[in-house]
DNA sequence: GCGGGCACTTGAACACTGTCAAAGTTCGCC
DNA sequence: GGCGAACTTTGACAGTGTTCAAGTGCCCGC
């Protein structure tokens, strides 16, 4: 009947639909694509409608992060020794971040990483307690491990394509003559293996906090 | 004489003035204050003039970072053992970042951290070579130490005031009942001491890569 | 049946961002 | 004196988050 595209109760969308659409948008087109107008277009709605449901962009992002946070709980912890199980919990944080790069980046740049990873952090905390740590030592170990993983994630999730090639690490090292041995420069010019770096570095931090089976 | 505020060669500013003014603006009012219009106002000039001199905002930022990079070189390395000297070089990265939070944050969010810290990274590399590491092992040690420091900096430089109190880590831990021991929760609710965390965590990573005096 | 009020939606704006084309002015040099 | 290069400005464009006033549809009580 050629309904005039009018206003009023037609969309039938609620807050959850907004959050899910935002999540999909981020996953498919990256964090920068999360624009109120783009999200509105994806939902076939006006930006004002989104504001009515979610309040603001920050609230929307927080909700997206919280939603994702619930989805990434519950991977099983394996391993027999305490160190192995702690390592496994740490690797869950790492793996989940790499499996959901876009949302993790978004959480990182909005300062809501704690919110996103909290369930995984709790799991890590449990393993630390099983290993015999409580109170302050457990908190210190937890923070040390999480910040180490976080630092590695900054490297692994960095979107190289946004920064010109001549300012990226390999090019900088290639331009560094005379200060370091050629073999070292060569090694630094090659791209690093983040997986190896993760394993050895996190293991070192864990070993410094969690007593081994013979202690 | 009521000179008409005309156009033409009047400002007498060059590219370097733009960069310095941008640096000052960032240091005094934070990275978010670096806006082309604000910078133009600070220089008593139009945005187009800035574009004529520096090309684009990204180029301006790159130049600011490079400029700052040169300023933060040259702190002396102290210590007698190899591990002490490596630790000192790592601490230089840490201290410089904390002393220049605004610029470091900016570099971090534009992916130019490598550019900013490259001189300090070279110094760290030198100490690693003095400790007997070369080639791939040196590169691995360097990357491990830098990513660890980077992860700690993410924590230490995070601007807490931008994210609502109930989504910050202490509040999240305070809301976590039943999963962890009360003493652990209490320790996690208290704000952490980043200085301690830096020392112990970085030391652990260094010890894993750099042989001690008795080896 | 119908009218009031709530729930939702829209259109149009505001202030802000980076960026650019065109036009203007001033300067050094021939 | 005039020409061309080196700047500088005006004024716009497209995009961002956000809000206000005005709609429209629907349910509920009368």
Tell me yes or no: is domain A75-209 CATH 1.10.357.10. yes
Pick from A66-70, A95-99, B167-171: least confident:
B167-171
Q: What is the pLDDT of residue A172?
A: 94
Tokens of A104: 């993790």
Contact between A179 and B126 under an 8 Å Cβ cutoff? The reply is yes
Question: Would you say residue A166 has pLDDT above 90?
Answer: no
Instruction: Answer for B202: CB within 7 Å of strand C.
Output: no
Tell me which H or E stretch contains B199: helix B194-209
pLDDT interval class at B41 (50, 70, 90): very high
Which tens digit of pLDDT belongs to each residue from A45-65? 999 999 999 999 999 999 999
pLDDT at B6 over 70: no
Q: What is the mean pLDDT of chain B?
A: 92
pLDDT in tens, A26-39: 999 999 999 999 99
Strand D: which bases are under 7 Å from protein Cβ?
6-11, 15-26
Minimal CA separation from A141 to chain B, in Å: 9
CA B209/CA A36 separation, integer angstroms: 48
pLDDT of residue A23: 97
**What is the average pLDDT across B3-18?**
72
Higher-confidence residue: B73 or A162?
A162
Say which residue, B82 or B177, is predicted with more confidence.
Answer: B82
Half-sphere CA count of B91, side-chain side, radius 13 A: 18
Q: What integer pLDDT is reported at residue A213 of this predicted model?
A: 78
pLDDT band (50, 70, 90) for residue A4: very low
Q: What is chain A's mean pLDDT, rounded?
A: 92
Q: What is the pLDDT of residue B177?
A: 85
Residue B160: pLDDT band by 50, 70, 90 thresholds? confident
Are A122 and B200 a contacting pair at CB < 8 A? Answer: no
Name chain A contacts of B164, Cβ cutoff 8 Å: 62
**What's residue B4's pLDDT?**
43
What is the per-residue pLDDT for B2?
Answer: 34
Residue A162's pLDDT is 85
Q: Look at residue B73 and tell me whether its pLDDT is greater than 90.
A: no
Please tell me the distance in Å from A5's CA to the nearest CA on chain B.
39
Domain boundaries, chain A: 15-70, 75-209
| Per-residue DSSP letter, A77 | P
On the question of pLDDT at B76 being above 90, the answer is yes
pLDDT at A2 over 60: no
Interface contact flag, A129 B176, Cβ < 8 Å: no
Look up the ipTM and state it.
Answer: 0.90
Lowest mean pLDDT among A125-134, B2-11, B74-83, B115-124: B2-11
Q: Is the pLDDT of residue B114 over 60?
A: yes
pLDDT tens sequence across A141-150: 999 999 999 9
Tokens of A161: 């394509």
Chain A contact for B177 (CB, 8 A cutoff): no
Q: Which two tokens stand for residue B100?
A: 């220049």
Burial label, A85 (beta-carbon count in 10 A; 0-12, 13-18, 19+): buried
Task: Report the alpha-carbon distance of residue A158 to residue A164 in Å, rounded.
Answer: 13
pLDDT in tens, A119-133: 999 999 999 999 999
What tens digit of pLDDT does each residue of A82-103 get? 999 999 999 999 999 999 999 9
- What is the CA angle B120-B197-B143, rounded to 5? 40
Q: How confident is the model at residue B213 (pLDDT cuts 50, 70, 90)?
A: confident
Evaluate if the CB of A202 falls below 7 Å from strand C: no
Q: Give the fold, CATH level 3, of B15-70.
A: Arc Repressor Mutant, subunit A (1.10.10)
How confident is the model at residue A9, as a pLDDT?
A: 62
Mean pLDDT confidence for A171-193: 93
pLDDT on residue A183: 95
Q: Residue A6: pLDDT above 70? A: no
CATH number 1.20.1300.10 is the correct assignment for the domain at B77-209: no
């Amino acid at each position: 009947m050629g309904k005039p595209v009018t206003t009023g109760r037609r969309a039938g969308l609620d807050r959850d639909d907004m959050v899910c659409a935002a999540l999909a948008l981020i996953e498919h087109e990256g964090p920068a694509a999360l624009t109120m107008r783009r999200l509105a277009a994806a939902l076939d709605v006006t930006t004002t409608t989104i504001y009515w449901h979610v309040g603001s962009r920050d609230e929307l992002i927080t909700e997206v992060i919280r939603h994702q946070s619930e989805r990434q709980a519950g991977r099983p912890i394996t391993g027999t020794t305490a160190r192995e199980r702690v390592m496994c919990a740490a690797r869950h944080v790492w793996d989940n971040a790499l499996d959901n790069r876009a949302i993790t980046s978004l959480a990182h740049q909005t300062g809501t990483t704690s919110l996103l990873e909290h369930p995984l952090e709790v799991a890590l905390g449990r393993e630390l307690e099983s290993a015999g740590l409580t109170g302050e030592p457990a908190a210190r170990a937890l923070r040390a491990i999480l910040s180490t993983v976080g630092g590695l994630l900054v490297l692994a999730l960095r979107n190289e394509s946004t920064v010109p090639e001549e300012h990226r690490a390999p090019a900088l090292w290639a331009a560094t003559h005379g200060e370091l041995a050629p073999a070292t420069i060569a090694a630094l010019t090659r791209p690093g293996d983040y997986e190896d770096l993760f394993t050895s570095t996190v293991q070192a931090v864990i070993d410094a906090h969690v007593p081994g089976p013979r202690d």
